[in-house]
Chain A
Amino acid sequence: MEGSLGKVLFQTGIWHLEVKHLIMWGIAFAYIFLAIKKQYEPLLLLPIGFGILAVNLPLAPLMTQEPKGLLYIFYHYGLEWEVIPCLIFLGLGAMTDFGPVIANPKTLLLGAAAQLGVYVAFFIAILLGFTIPEACSIGIIGGADGPTTIYTTVHLAPHLLGATAIAAYSYMSLVPIIQPPVMKLLTTKKERQIVMRQLRPVSKTERILFPIVMMLISCLLLPASAPLMVMFMLGNLFRESGVVQRLSDAAQNELMNIVTIFLGISVGATMSADSFLRPQTLMIYGLGLVAFIFSTAGGVLFAKLMNLFLKEKINPLIGSAGVSAVPMAARVSQKLALEENPRNYLIMHAMGPNVAGVIGTLMAAGFFIAMVGK
């Protein structure tokens, strides 16, 4: 009787509970708290937090490969097969208005310059002892684009997925805190007061041609970026064509919501105590912050550089929106401009580099995968 009871007790999760599990539970509860109480990226932090909690239940067959656990199936087919990031990009494309970029194509350059942080963090990561594929996955956090970070990490350093994804999404929600000091430090009051001319109207033909042309250029120049770029531009074509409203709505709403659930829980499921509780994770968080700061600086400084050659000056505050946290980074530019001049509405101008930043990060990821991937 006692032997049987002992055997049953040994098969419970309670018997196998260790301190490391409790620490991960604490982290999971922190994410759930931040999502519910503070409403920080709740669509992601809530399923991620729950995923962390679930994967750190001792003996629960959720992330086991043999037999295949439920969360492992989500992770394997969703993330390892790269289905989820690509579907997210379909939804993002359907949600994105490229009008500001079409009206002012120069802003594409700001989206490129704001990838500076990606490469700065890449170098520092190597200095800290990370391998080159790991450094690429860490650097891409600076692009402030969750799905691209996940896509790159799955390709190059899948064991870092939990840490890089969480860092990317955490810092994206902290953009309003991280960016303003850097922007103020690098600009003068006079520069922040620059008023930009209203953008020209963009015709429907231009809007329809844009995703097709962009997809062709990017995939021909950098085929490694094709999976994400094709889906991004397909989503945008759904939106702009005006003839498949149902598909556009589905991509923006139902599909996006469903995929977000699987994304959140799959990312959370990668954060088992053994893979997460390492000094490396803290370093990744630190490097993510460095990447964000330098990306912001890169965009602002490049805008100032462009002003040396432009007749019509641009407000360098829009440069920081080149990190692709859409639309939060553009809102930060707007807020700072309004502080200097209550009539200076920069939001539409800032949306240009903001959506260009998504393309810039995709290109940076494409270069990494092309040069480092197997």
Chain B
Amino acid sequence: MWEEALKIFGIGFPGVIFTLGIMAVIVYLVGLVINALQKKKS
């Protein structure tokens, strides 16, 4: 049981941080692209 619990923690918690980290990077990049395009347009 402890082995499974450690697996859930070992994958789960870093997994949450990793997933939200990826989201952060993509949101940042999308913002960068959109703002650059809007600057170019204006």
Q: Which residues of A come within 8 Å of B, CB atoms?
A: 101-102, 105-106, 108-109, 111-113, 115-116, 119, 122-123, 126, 132, 135-136, 202-203, 205-206, 209-210, 213-214, 217-218, 221-222, 356, 359-360, 363-364, 367-368, 371-372
Contacts and interface: CB of A to CB of B under 8 A. Distances in A.
Contact of B13 (A106, A116, A126): A116
B23 A108 contact: yes
A203 B21 contact: no
A372 B8 contact: yes
Contacts of A364: 12-13, 16
Contact of B35 (A122, A203, A371): A203
A1 B34 CA distance: 85
B17 A109 contact: yes
Given A109-B20, A113-B17, A203-B35, A122 B27 contact: no
A119 B12 contact: yes
A372 B2 CA distance: 14
B20 to A, nearest CB: 4
A119 to B, nearest CB: 5
B13 A115 contact: yes
A203 B30 contact: no
> In the complex, which of the residues B7, B13, B20, B22 has the most CB atoms of chain A within 10 Å of its own CB atom?
B20
A135 B8 CA distance: 11
B3 to A, nearest CB: 11
B1 A363 contact: no
A122 B5 CA distance: 8
A131 B21 CA distance: 30
Contact of B16 (A101, A102, A112, A205): A112
Contact of A105 (B17, B31, B34, B38): B31
Interface SS of chain A: helix, strand, loop or mixed? helix
A363 B7 CA distance: 16
Nearest to A216: B26
B11 to A, nearest CB: 7
Contacts of A116: 13
Contacts of A222: 15, 19
A178 B11 CA distance: 29
Contacts of A112: 16-17, 19-21
A62 B30 CA distance: 51
Contact of B7 (A115, A359, A371): A371
A360 B20 contact: yes
A122 B8 contact: yes
Given A210-B30, A213-B30, 17 more contacts: A102-B31, A105-B27, A105-B31, A108-B23, A109-B24, A112-B21, A113-B17, A115-B13, A122-B5, A122-B9, A132-B4, A135-B5, A202-B31, A210-B27, A214-B23, A367-B8, A371-B12
Contacts of B16: 112, 115, 360, 363-364, 367
Contact of A213 (B1, B21, B26): B26
A221 B22 contact: yes
A214 B17 CA distance: 15
A126 B2 contact: yes
| Central interface residue in B5, B11, B21, B25, by most chain A CB within 10 Å | B5
A108 B8 contact: no
A210 B27 CA distance: 7
A304 to B, nearest CB: 16
Contacts of B20: 108-109, 111-112, 356, 359-360, 363
A108 B19 CA distance: 10
Contacts of A356: 20
A359 B19 CA distance: 10
Looking at B1, B17, B35, B38, which has the most chain A CB atoms within 10 Å of its CB?
A: B17
Contacts of A214: 23, 27
